[in-house]
Chains A and B, each alone.
Chain A
Amino acid sequence: MTLTKMIIGATSAIALAGAANAAAHMSGEMTIVSWGGAYSASQQAAYHDPYIANTGIAILNDESSGEAVAKLRAMNEAGNITWDLVDVIAADGMRLCDEGLAMEIDFDSMLAPGADGSTATEDFGETLVSVCYIPQIVFSTTFGYRTDMVPEGAAAPTGACDVFDMDTYPGRRSLEKRPIGNMEWALICDGVAIEDVYDMLETDEGLERAFAKLDTIKDMTIWWTAGAETPQLLADGEIFMGSTYNGRLFSVIAEQNQPIGMAWGNQMLDLDGWIVPTGLPDDRLARVMDYLYFATDTQRLADQAAYISYGPARASSAPLVGNHATLGIPMAPHMPTNPENMDGAFVTNYLWWADYRDEMDAKFQAWLAQ
């Protein structure tokens, strides 16, 4: 009898303790979605590893950020959110926010203040383009080329428009299998001023013009879906010139010593950051908030810049950016926002893409398949 009483007593004590802890209980595991390759590796080194060292939780990495919007829509439709934190570009963040799939964030209370004393809102400044979106980095989509495959007597390519020049630079290209960037470059390289590009893309004639320009290189183009593809295609010699995120090119040039050069002209700047999916249970949400507070503070964003050449979104992190973690080279010249790299650079119009992305996707995929 005493044994039974002991068991009942013990289980009720545990149950009560459990109930008391439920509010403070945080999940012991997170699924974080990002872009894979060198970028995910930099996040692992700068954010995940220190956090795991502090808390001992497990972090699972998913590499589906390219399809994040579609997958979150599917999860919402199915009623089962399996992701805890998702890394998306700004336009996708805005789309998700407007569809109620991303949680609204109170920046000043949920994120750490800047190390220089500023509030989170001041520190992030203009990069806060949506109430659901927590920016991490400024990156750009830009072109790389094989330095040893430049034809005799020709100058090395300097920018995006050289990719359309099949006469001077024969050889295969690789472009992103999504309309972002390709549509803008098609028009810019066809002579349209940057300010007019987005207005033109809203018209049928503008679209025709853009697709006609892309048609000139379509047969010679390999279409990539992951950022790691273009560097690998360049290293393998399968292509002469291709677009990808600038940090991936930095990795393949500096860390793998491949004969690749960067053509910064007309680079397309964009923001990349976190969103928290809506509908997370309390324990997972508590864990995500705890992680975000840590992983988006001044030092962490500066640390990430030591592994890959993306600029931190916080103003207070900029002075802390130094040298590469293992190679020791200064990172500043490789940042997309370095004045030397800014020739013809433009910032992608997040709002326009948030509004028109679905439509553009449909037209682009239809054009691609024909």
Chain B
Amino acid sequence: MSDASTTGPMRAADGTLLKVSLARALRRQKLRALMLIMPLLAFVLIGFVLPIGQMLMRSVENDIVQDTLPLTIEALQEWDSTSNESPPEAVFTALAIDLQAALESKSHTILGRRLNFEYSGITTLFRKAGRDVEDWNVETDGPFRVRFEEIDEEWIDPTMWRAILAYSGRYTAGYYLAAIDKTMVSGQIENRPKNESLHLMLFGRTAWVSILICFCTLLLGYPIAFLLSNLKARHSNLLLILVLLPFWTSLLVRTSAWKVLLQEQGVINDIMVGIGILADDNRFQMINNKLGVVIAMTHILLPFMILPLYSVMKTIPPTYVRAAKSLGATDWTAFWRVYFPQSIPGIGAGAILVFILSVGYYITPELVGGPTGSFISNRIAYQWSGAGNWGLVGALGAILLVAVLILYWVYDKIVGIDNVKLG
């Protein structure tokens, strides 16, 4: 037995201080837990978090300008950008030197492309200049200002040089500005021309179509969840299978089903023409527009609304509604004032989950949305596989990611990450 003295600190069986012994055991437990977690954590950090971090870094990196035109940018710092005169001869001499050096690796066209994202026409300028500068002798063929003017008048345009100066830093906010339809080609932040501004519009469209989808799934999912939670377990399990089958079916299968159904010559239009609701040459257009996206995504995300609602509704005791009825409440009052408030956490959980999933969607808007039903993810994909503007991909992605993380944080507050149930 341990020392039975009533004075002095408590000791463990082997004589060490109990506090120390407990602390040691606790540390061992923590270490064991961490060791079990470490392989996966390392895997996810290196294989996932790091790549995404790198991707997002591209949204601010802008080394290409100073790396391709080092002397020009240096000389450009001396120029007074607010005056309405074109840069001095020193800038053009530096430009000739830099361009000749860049021609070897053809990086002048890549730079031209990057700057073209901000100021239309620079690609052409650089490509044309590249073709001529190749034959120049930088020592003897000056002055270069007039020679560049001969290639194209825009070379002496101060607005163009102001644009180059604005985007010449090693790090730039330019991509984020582009992501919110602004630009700083004049040195100040101002709006982009209307025919180039669509990111804010797309963010808005993604958000409100997702809200609409949330609402539709709630409208359709609430009755089902109510039914499932009030049936006997045997029956509700059977009906739950009808909810889970779409959930387990491949997303592409569901989307192809809707594509088949919603086409002009598809099943739904054929049925409506067959019954006589529509004339054959006046078929309803339900695909390649927002309507198609809403219908298809409501179907796809409905299980994600039903399952959280169901798990919350299962925990609502039926006694409250019975008590309300026995006190004289009508069916509607009992439902609306007693049952419904108790189901609100489920509604919150389901709605946020559906919304988070919906704003990040790519596949379904791509296949059934057409140009007017596309989401921000589709735009990000276009910037990748069409424009090659990695910086903008990073910026748009960062904004989308931050929005989703905020929503997820709200979800965590309401439901808790630990309580995510998947049937």
Interface residues of chain A, those whose CB is within 8 Å of chain B, are 67, 69-71, 73-74, 77, 98-100, 170, 172, 177, 211, 222-223, 236-238, 354-356, 358-359, 361-363, 365-370
Interface residues of chain B, those whose CB is within 8 Å of chain A, are 105-107, 109-110, 113, 116-117, 120-121, 123-124, 127-128, 130, 195-198, 201-202, 263-265, 281, 288, 370-372, 374, 379, 382, 384-388, 390
A369 CB to closest chain B CB (Å) equals 5
State in angstroms the CA–CA spacing of A73 and B109 once bound together: 12
State in angstroms the CA–CA spacing of A177 and B378 once bound together: 14
B264 lies within 8 A of A362 (CB): no
Give chain B residues whose Cβ lies under 8 Å from the Cβ of A211. 195
Chain B contact residues: helix, strand, loop or mixed: helix
State in angstroms the CA–CA spacing of A250 and B390 once bound together: 39
Partner of B388, one of A70, A237, A367, A368: A70
Which 3 residue pairs spanning A and B have beta carbons closest together? A100-B106, A73-B388, A368-B371
Chain A contact residues: helix, strand, loop or mixed: helix
A369 lies within 8 A of B370 (CB): no
Partner of A366, one of B109, B196, B390: B196
B370 lies within 8 A of A223 (CB): yes
Total inter-chain residue pairs, C-beta < 8 Å? 84
State in angstroms the CA–CA spacing of A359 and B198 once bound together: 15
Give chain A residues whose Cβ lies under 8 Å from the Cβ of B123. 355-356, 358-359
B196 lies within 8 A of A363 (CB): yes
Partner of A369, one of B371, B386, B390: B371
Give B122's nearest chain A residue, CB to CB: A359
Given the interface pairs A100-B105, A222-B288, A223-B370, the reply to whether A365 lies near B386 with Cβ below 8 Å is: yes
B202 CB to closest chain A CB (Å) equals 7
Give chain B residues whose Cβ lies under 8 Å from the Cβ of A237. 265
Given the interface pairs A70-B385, A365-B386, the reply to whether A358 lies near B265 with Cβ below 8 Å is: no
| Max count, chain B CB within 10 A of own CB: residue among A77, A358, A363, A366 | A358
B387 lies within 8 A of A70 (CB): yes
Given the interface pairs A98-B127, A222-B370, A369-B202, the reply to whether A361 lies near B106 with Cβ below 8 Å is: no
B263 lies within 8 A of A355 (CB): no
Partner of A74, one of B105, B288, B388: B388
Partner of A71, one of B374, B382, B385: B385
B388 lies within 8 A of A223 (CB): no
State in angstroms the CA–CA spacing of A85 and B345 once bound together: 57
Give chain A residues whose Cβ lies under 8 Å from the Cβ of B263. 236, 238
